[in-house]
Amino acid sequence: MPAPRTVLLTGAAGGLGTLMRNLLPAFGYHLRLLDLRPIEGEPDAITADLADRAALREAVRGVDAIIHLAGISLEASFDKILKSNIEGTHNLYEAAREEGVRRVVFASSNHAVGFTPYPRDGAPLIPVDTPRRPDTFYGLSKSFGEDLAQLYWDKHGVETVSVRIGSCFPQPSSVRMLSVWMSPADGARLFHAALTAEEVGHTVVYGSSANTRLWWDLSTARALGYEPRDDSEQFAEKLIAEQGELDPENVAQAYLGGHFVNDPPIWPY
């Protein structure tokens, strides 16, 4: 596949979308932006709901690839998740298929496997083929998205890299995040690798920096050409002093998904 140049970025108004729209142009991409909400300072951004199939078809027309970030990014009622994340992601893949877009980078989440206990006492890192164990309806929708990606590859030849993102914020804000943090700069490196690697079919990768306290196996991400440069360890002393070490006897601290397993943050809209 020739290196993609024009890339549709869905969810461009969100936290990760804003970080990526600032970082990805340096890799040579021309970004077409889409979100439910208008984006200040971006008059050309497409304001559209993932429910609007006609708008999606127009939005994907002529792009080389799609980075799909749009959707509900926290827990919500099943009805809301169904509309935005499940039907919405299906609508986007249909538009991609109809318009001949060959590559999608899908923002999956650690919460697709959130009920996986993290490795302790030298246990091996969590592989990408660990059984899916969603911790919320939100995580379930990411699990669906990964299966949808597999279907569109097997049946229609649309390639996807599903990135099970850990926590992509400028800094980690909890002891758990020390293990799953992805610096924004590493996020951009990983998305670039996912857009440019040859013949990915449907590849699942974990999305994080090369953290000292890493819980999962980054080898499938590295196989795409991803070379993380950051490590959350610089934040460890302060966070552990404030919050203490993780307590595996506390249900909110025993699994990959952290407090999503028992008290997930709720989507506010």
Catalytically active residues are 138
Stretch of residues binding ligand NAI (CB under 6 A), selected from 90-98, 147-155, 164-172, 225-233: 164-172
Query: H/E element holding 115?
Result: none
- Residue given tokens 């877009």 in the structure block: 101
Token reading at 207: 């999305």
| Nearer of residues 4 and 114 to ligand NAI, judged by Cβ | 114
Q: Tell me the closest approach of the beta carbon of residue 166 to ligand NAI, in angstroms.
A: 6
Under a CB-based contact definition with an 8 Å cutoff, are residues 74 and 138 in contact?
Answer: yes
* Stretch 179-238 residues interacting with ligand NAI (CB under 6 A): none
Phi, psi of 60 (to 5 degrees): -90, -10
Binding residue for ligand NAI (CB under 6 A) from 101, 105, 158, 168?
168
Which three-class secondary structure state does DSSP give residue 33?
strand
CA distance 236 to 156: 45
Q: Tell me the closest approach of the beta carbon of residue 13 to ligand NAI, in angstroms.
A: 4
Binding residue for ligand NAI (CB under 6 A) from 24, 59, 88, 228?
88
| Nearer of residues 30 and 37 to ligand NAI, judged by Cβ | 37
Sign (positive or negative) of CA dihedral 53, 159, 9, 61: negative
Query: Considering the rule CB under 6 A, would residue 134 count as an interface residue with ligand NAI?
Result: no
| Nearer of residues 69 and 128 to ligand NAI, judged by Cβ | 69
Query: Considering the rule CB under 6 A, would residue 39 count as an interface residue with ligand NAI?
Result: no
| Nearer of residues 35 and 146 to ligand NAI, judged by Cβ | 35
Secondary structure (DSSP) of 36-85: SS--TT-TTSEE--TT-HHHHHHHHTT-SEEEE--S--SB--HHHHIIII
Query: Considering the rule CB under 6 A, would residue 71 count as an interface residue with ligand NAI?
Result: yes
Which residues of the shown chain bind ligand 15L in the complex (CB under 6 A)? 73-74, 109-111, 167, 177
Size of the site for ligand NAI (CB under 6 A): 23
CA distance 122 to 119: 7
Q: Tell me the closest approach of the beta carbon of residue 16 to ligand NAI, in angstroms.
A: 3
Q: How far is C-alpha 99 from the geometric centre of its chain's CA atoms?
A: 23
Binding site for ligand NAI (CB under 6 A): 11, 13-17, 35-37, 49-50, 69-73, 84, 88, 107, 109, 165, 167-168
